[in-house]
Chain A
Amino acid sequence: MTALYLNVISGGILIGVVYALIALGLTIIFGVMRVVNFAHGEMVVIGMYIGYGLWSAFKLPPWMLAPVAAALLFALGYALQLGIVNAFIDRPQHAQFVLFISFALMITGLHLALFGPDSWPIQTVESMQSYTIGPVRLDVLRSQAALMALLLIIVLMLFLKFSTLGRSIRAAADNLIGAQVIGIRVRKVYAVTAGIGMACAGAAGALIAPIFDTQPFLATDFTLIAFIIVIVGGLGSLTGALLGGVLIGLSEALAALMISPALKTTFSYALLVLVLLLRPNGLFGEPER
């Protein structure tokens, strides 16, 4: 029984770290621009298709697909922000919602038209393998994905803390007028932020592609899970996204084991409601000033 619990807990933590990378992308965009990206799950699915395409073409190990997907999604996010989203930054929230929902529908429609509704599985030797550490069996693909996601999260946090551009992003998030006064080019910072947010989604997508078969209809699930995580962790909080991801992954796994597998998603929503009731700003979020 101990082995069962250890296996379930480790599996939950591993997938939770990947979820955290998805949520990090959503929270960084919101934290800096106060824009809610309703097409975030679709960006994850783009990452999955990129991952699948790279794996099919070059047979790269799944964990190596993430940086390439991140780079491509960064470019897409940067271009979208400069070309379209910047024009909506000062518009009412409902206009922003409609814009991102339109993006979401267009991306899913394009995926359907280009790749069809079928699942695209990545089959590697690792698909059937696991590491054995004492009583614990760790899924190889999940372990690789979680390690790579964790590495990307650490790199991102270091970038935001120590690089000049990272500091500019944090400055724009903390005090927009102050940032403009000291000469930060806010529109460019927004574009870089959108690029980073979507790169997180793309990288997470490529990491998930070998675990969940790629298909267009996964997007809504990813968007919802990202929202649950960032609300539980605290909107705009990077630490909250990381710990929220792990918490959601873990709670889903334990709920499946201890209550009922059919209720694991329901449990996430219950957790969300509980956090909204007790800590409306999330576990690590700060009250709006």
Chain B
Amino acid sequence: MTKRAIPSRRDLLATGAGALATSILPRPVFSQGAPVKVGVILYLSGVQAFMGQQTRKGNDFGAKVVKEAGGPAMEFIYGDAESKPENGRIVAERLIREGCTLLIGTNDSGSTISVAQAAEAAKIPFLINIASAPQITEQGFTQIFRNFTPAGTLVGNAVARIKELGATTGVEPKTAVILHVNDTFGQGIMKGVDVLWDKQQVPIKILDRIGYDVRARDLSVEVAKAKAVGADLLMPITRVSDAILIIREMVKQNWSPMGIISPGSPGPYEKAFTDALGKYGDGYMSCVPWYNPTNKRAREIASRFEKEMDARFDLNAVFAFEAVEIAADAIKRAKSNEPAAIHAALKTTDITDHISYGGPIRFDEKGQNNNIGVVMLQNQNGKPVVVSPADASEAKAVFPFVPFDKR
């Protein structure tokens, strides 16, 4: 007589918990032959909506170009994380339940981490278009693929560009002050600056670091404090709205340092910035990943985008566009809308002809593309132009920049 195994209370609990976890985790519903549903998570409303909307335009334009080129059928479903990092996961889970087998996003490091958690749980590949926090690729996520520079690389390249600037213009600033937004992104970049500044032996002393709240509407005190430091360079780490506030305050407080150089942050190259500030927006430099103006296809895409989307082909648009091309390439090779197949295809991505400045698009074991270059932009006559490095530059840098009261 065999003894019937009676499940223990522990077994029952474990089985129950497993069943519960399986039932509540979002799972995509596949349908063979149908277009691949791609969930795009962005900040389409809230304080960071401008970047999200601009990224959406890049995504839409990418979809259009891929379709024209006979690329694989893709249906893009947008999810709005409302400028709240914690919403990333909620939106991602909803998109996965709606059948998305690839996620793209999110234009913000905080919500990117949040989405990565949902993608990891559901085993759905997540292609990161814009997000620079280093920890994104250091947390053991297996589903992420980032086609954007992590803060360390971004800052490392930016520091190199700043050193080159001194050599090419013959003007060597001695001191700098950092004014940074106090969120995941801002702190990530600032920590990168701290580490790499000494490592690369930059002969510019950072006198102070001033952080401000991400929701700040008024930066008069922060700018006054930075002015009082008396540094040669202002190094802002901002988004577009705070970059505008900083320049307005600098003009009002009549503060013109030798230069304003962002070591890798959005803002100054965006149309909203140059439109809002006019001649006062000129001279601002920023070190960021960008399209390669010496690449004929990149120039054509940029020109078409500006005409057809009535917007500037800026960092947000460039990397949103490129993410769609990477997705299309992977889906085409995967020949399936199954997440595992798309994931496998993304892992073997090798795109040499692409529009961003840098080497071939390839992802390492952590899902990072390490070949993205960083250029130095300077606003000249109301638009950003590449002034460094030499193999990508379109114009010469104006340094020191023209003081505000002389414009």
Q: In the complex the two chains form, what is the Cα distance from A139 to B248 in whole Å? A: 10
Q: In the assembled complex, which residues on chain B have CB atoms less than 8 Å from the CB atom of A256?
A: 221-222, 225
Which of the segments B47-55, B168-176, B297-305, B386-394 contacts the partner chain? B47-55
A178 at the interface (CB under 8 A from B): no
Q: In the assembled complex, which residues on chain A have CB atoms less than 8 Å from the CB atom of B228?
A: 1, 4
Q: In the complex the two chains form, what is the Cα distance from A215 to B127 in whole Å? A: 31
A128 touches B218 (CB 8 A): no
B215 at the interface (CB under 8 A from A): yes
Q: In the complex the two chains form, what is the Cα distance from A23 to B280 in whole Å? A: 35
Which of the segments A150-158, A259-267, A269-277 contacts the partner chain? A259-267
With A137-B254, A256-B222, A257-B225 in contact, is A128–B217 under 8 Å at CB? no
With A260-B211, A262-B212 in contact, is A11–B252 under 8 Å at CB? no
Q: How many A-B contacts are there with CB distance less than 8 Å?
A: 85
B224 touches A4 (CB 8 A): yes
Q: In the complex the two chains form, what is the Cα distance from A211 to B280 in whole Å? A: 17
Q: Which residue of B lies closest to A128 (CB)?
A: B251
- Please tell me which one of the listed residues A116, A119, A123, A253 contacts residue B221 in the complex, with CB atoms under 8 A apart: A253
Q: In the complex the two chains form, what is the Cα distance from A217 to B215 in whole Å? A: 10
With A117-B49, A137-B254, A264-B213 in contact, is A128–B248 under 8 Å at CB? yes
Q: Which residue of A lies closest to B47 (CB)?
A: A217
**Least Cβ distance of A239 to chain B in Å?**
25
Q: In the assembled complex, which residues on chain B have CB atoms less than 8 Å from the CB atom of A137?
A: 252-254
Q: In the assembled complex, which residues on chain B have CB atoms less than 8 Å from the CB atom of A221?
A: 215, 217
B217 touches A212 (CB 8 A): yes
B44 at the interface (CB under 8 A from A): yes
Mark each residue of chain B from 112 to 133: 1 if its CB lies under 8 Å from any CB of chain A, else 0: 0000000000000000000000
Q: In the complex the two chains form, what is the Cα distance from A265 to B218 in whole Å? A: 12
A118 at the interface (CB under 8 A from B): yes
With A15-B218, A112-B45, A253-B221 in contact, is A127–B248 under 8 Å at CB? yes
With A1-B228, A117-B46, A118-B49 in contact, is A130–B217 under 8 Å at CB? no
With A118-B49, A253-B221 in contact, is A123–B276 under 8 Å at CB? yes
With A4-B225, A118-B50, A121-B276 in contact, is A128–B215 under 8 Å at CB? no
Mark each residue of chain B from 227 to 268: 1 if its CB lies under 8 Å from any CB of chain A, else 0: 110000000000001001000100111100000000000000
Q: In the complex the two chains form, what is the Cα distance from A139 to B213 in whole Å? A: 21
**Least Cβ distance of A246 to chain B in Å?**
16
A262 touches B47 (CB 8 A): no
Q: In the complex the two chains form, what is the Cα distance from A212 to B218 in whole Å? A: 7
Mark each residue of chain B from 59 to 78: 1 if its CB lies under 8 Å from any CB of chain A, else 0: 00000000000000000000
A46 at the interface (CB under 8 A from B): no
A168 at the interface (CB under 8 A from B): no
Q: In the assembled complex, which residues on chain A have CB atoms less than 8 Å from the CB atom of B45?
A: 112, 117, 217
B218 touches A7 (CB 8 A): no
B212 touches A261 (CB 8 A): yes
Q: For window 26-58 of chain B, which residues contact chain A by CB distance below 8 Å?
A: 44-47, 49-50, 53
Mark each residue of chain B from 172 to 185: 1 if its CB lies under 8 Å from any CB of chain A, else 0: 00000000001000
Q: For window 90-124 of chain A, which residues contact chain B by CB distance below 8 Å?
A: 112, 116-119, 121, 123
A211 touches B53 (CB 8 A): no
Q: In the complex the two chains form, what is the Cα distance from A11 to B249 in whole Å? A: 12
B218 touches A211 (CB 8 A): yes
- Chain B residues packing against A (C-beta within 8 Å): 44-47, 49-50, 53, 83, 182, 210-213, 215-222, 224-225, 227-228, 241, 244, 248, 251-254, 272, 276, 280
5 further A-B contacts with Cβ under 8 Å, apart from A8-B221, A117-B49, A130-B254, are A4-B225, A8-B224, A127-B248, A137-B252, A261-B222
19 CB-based A-B contacts, threshold 8 Å: A4-B224, A7-B253, A117-B44, A118-B49, A119-B50, A119-B272, A123-B276, A128-B280, A130-B252, A212-B217, A215-B47, A217-B47, A217-B83, A221-B215, A256-B225, A257-B221, A260-B211, A261-B212, A264-B221
